[in-house]
A and B are shown apart, each in its own frame.
Chain A
Amino acid sequence: DIQMTQSPSSLSASVGDRVTITCRASQDISNSLAWFQQRPGKAPKSLIYTASTLHSGVPSRFSGSGSGTVFTLTINSLQPEDFATFYCQQYTSFPYTFGQGTTLDI
Chain B
Amino acid sequence: QVYLVESGGGVVQPGGSLRLSCVASGFTFSNYPMQWIRQAPGKGLEWVALVSFSGSDRHYTDSVKGRFTISRDNSKNTLFLELNSLTPEDTGVYFCARGGFPFCAYWGPGTLVAVSS
Q: Which residues of A line the B interface, CB within 8 A?
A: 1, 32, 34, 36, 38, 42-46, 49-50, 53, 55, 87, 89, 91, 94-101
Contacts and interface: CB of A to CB of B under 8 A. Distances in A.
B102 interface: yes
B103 A49 contact: yes
Interface centre among A34, A42, A96 (most CB of B within 10 A): A96
Contacts of A38: 45
Q: Looking at chain A's contact residues, is the secondary structure mostly helix, strand, loop, or mixed?
A: loop
A11 to B, nearest CB: 16
B102 A46 contact: yes
17 contacts: A32-B103, A34-B104, A38-B45, A43-B107, A43-B108, A44-B45, A45-B107, A49-B101, A49-B104, A55-B105, A89-B47, A89-B104, A91-B103, A95-B47, A95-B59, A95-B62, A98-B45
B78 to A, nearest CB: 18
Contacts of B46: 98
Contacts of A53: 102
Contacts of A98: 44-47
B89 to A, nearest CB: 16
Contacts of B59: 94-95
Given A43-B109, A55-B105, A101-B44, 7 more contacts: A34-B103, A43-B108, A44-B107, A49-B103, A97-B47, A99-B44, A100-B44
B61 interface: yes
Contacts of A91: 103-104
